[in-house]
């Protein structure tokens, strides 16, 4: 991987990296196409990173299909699909981690201890291995995007971070490899995340400003759908993720909801003055 990148860099070409855990869907492919527009060469990494999963999480069950992913990446014009093995990334004796302390605390960080430490560590490793000029991340994982931007800034990394909008199914469900866990009935319930975001946007347009009041309404709305369990509903500042009580400026509404065994996330920035 390094030799290829060094050669491409020597030839003066720009490299874009799209880090993924595979089982590609249209969201991943959109990031790859964006990368292609922004750089000469596109590298997609496919690595189900064990250190970002908690002990009770779905590492073993995480969906995988390397042949299909390789075909889709090739059809999308990806130059390199980089698929390191766990033993190569974390050989015996591995003990160095990187942590973006504050941005990793709220939201998913509070519910998944160690998750963002695992993400930041693997992304830094991937940057060092692939040496991209830029990297594309999806805004579905909004907190991850902020954590990576902070990592780059704080450690003086020479990578430009590009955020890509959330890609959705026709009924609004944000695409996710984890959607494959949903039964047909759960799949119908899963639209409640996006519908909750739209409901909140509508309420803010109507003039509602109290976040706790909205949390209560959204919570009732989500729980009216079968098989749902709320992990969090949070209104936060889109830059530092600090809690917002009164929606008087653009505010990130972030949701994490279990639908059956699938933990789904979604988010939207609500703009009170639009
Ligand atoms: P994953 O394979 O789920 O770790 O995702 C790899 C990258 O694709 C991350 O930057 C995600 O934020 C991004 N991504 C996943 N799903 C979507 C989506 N529905 N829309 C936009 N980006 C996405």
Token readout for 115 is 């998750």
Candidates 21, 27, 57: which one to mutate for ligand 1, based on the most atoms within 8 Å of Cβ?
27
- Residue 4: CB partners within 8 Å, gap ≥ 6? 80
User: In this predicted model, what pLDDT tens digit does every residue of 63-113 receive, in sequence order?
Assistant: 999 999 999 999 999 999 999 999 999 999 999 999 999 999 999 999 999
Q: Which atom of ligand 1 is nearest to the CA of 22?
A: 2
- Residue 227: CB partners within 8 Å, gap ≥ 6? 185, 186, 189, 259, 260
Cα-to-centroid distance, 168 and ligand 1 (Å) = 11
Q: Which atom of ligand 1 is nearest to the CA of 165?
A: 21
Residues with CB under 6 A from ligand 1: 20-21, 27-28, 31, 137-138, 140-141, 164, 166-167, 174-177
SS3 213: helix
Does the structure show a pLDDT above 90 at 273?
A: no
In this prediction, residue 248 carries a pLDDT of 97
Whole-number percent of the chain with pLDDT over 70: 100
Spatial CA neighbour of 259 closest among 191, 186, 197, 192 = 186
Does the structure show a pLDDT above 90 at 257?
A: yes
Rounded-to-integer distance, Cα 22 and Cα 28, Å:
8
Does the structure show a pLDDT above 90 at 274?
A: no
- The mean per-residue pLDDT over the stretch 247-265 comes to 98
Domain boundaries, the chain: 2-164, 177-270
Residue 194: CB atoms within 10 A of its CB come to 20
262 contacts 229 by C-beta, under 8 angstroms: no
Asked, colleague to colleague, whether 2-164 and 177-270 share their fold, the answer is no
Q: Spelled out in words, what is the top-level CATH class assigned to the domain 177-270?
A: alpha beta
Rounded-to-integer distance, Cα 106 and Cα 129, Å:
30
**CATH classification for the domain delimited by 2-164, as one of 3.30.1330.30, 3.40.50.620, 3.30.360.10, 1.10.520.20:** 3.40.50.620
User: In this predicted model, what pLDDT tens digit does every residue of 189-205 receive, in sequence order?
Assistant: 999 999 999 999 999 99
In this prediction, residue 111 carries a pLDDT of 97
The question of whether 133 is a catalytic residue gets the answer no
In this prediction, residue 204 carries a pLDDT of 98
- Of the candidates 28, 115, 133, 225, the residue annotated as catalytic is 28
């Amino acid at each position: 991987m390094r030799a290829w990148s060094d050669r491409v860099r020597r030839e003066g070409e720009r490299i874009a990296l799209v880090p993924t855990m595979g089982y590609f869907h249209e969201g991943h492919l959109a990031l790859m196409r964006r990368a292609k527009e922004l750089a000469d060469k596109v590298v997609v990494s496919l690595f189900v990173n064990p250190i970002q999963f908690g002990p009770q999480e779905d590492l073993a069950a995480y969906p995988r299909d390397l042949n299909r992913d390789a075909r889709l990446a090739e059809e999308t014009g990806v130059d390199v699909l980089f698929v390191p093995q766990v033993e190569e990334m974390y050989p015996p004796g591995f003990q160095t981690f990187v942590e973006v302390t504050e941005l990793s605390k709220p939201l998913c960080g509070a519910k998944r201890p160690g998750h963002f430490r695992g993400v930041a560590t693997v992304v830094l490793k991937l940057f060092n291995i692939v040496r991209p000029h830029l990297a594309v991340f999806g805004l579905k994982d909004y907190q991850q995007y902020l954590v990576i931007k902070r990592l780059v800034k704080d450690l003086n990394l020479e990578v430009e971070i590009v955020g890509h909008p959330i890609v959705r199914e026709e009924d609004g469900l944000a695409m996710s490899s984890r959607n494959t866990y949903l039964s047909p009935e759960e799949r119908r319930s899963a639209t409640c995340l996006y519908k909750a975001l739209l409901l909140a946007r509508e309420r803010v347009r109507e003039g509602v400003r109290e976040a706790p009041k909205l949390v209560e309404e959204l919570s009732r709305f989500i729980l009216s759908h079968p098989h749902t369990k709320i992990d969090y509903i949070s209104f936060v500042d889109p830059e530092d993720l600090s809690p917002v009580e009164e929606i008087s400026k653009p505010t990130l509404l972030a949701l994490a909801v279990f639908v059956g065994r699938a933990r789904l996330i979604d988010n939207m920035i609500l703009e009170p003055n639009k």
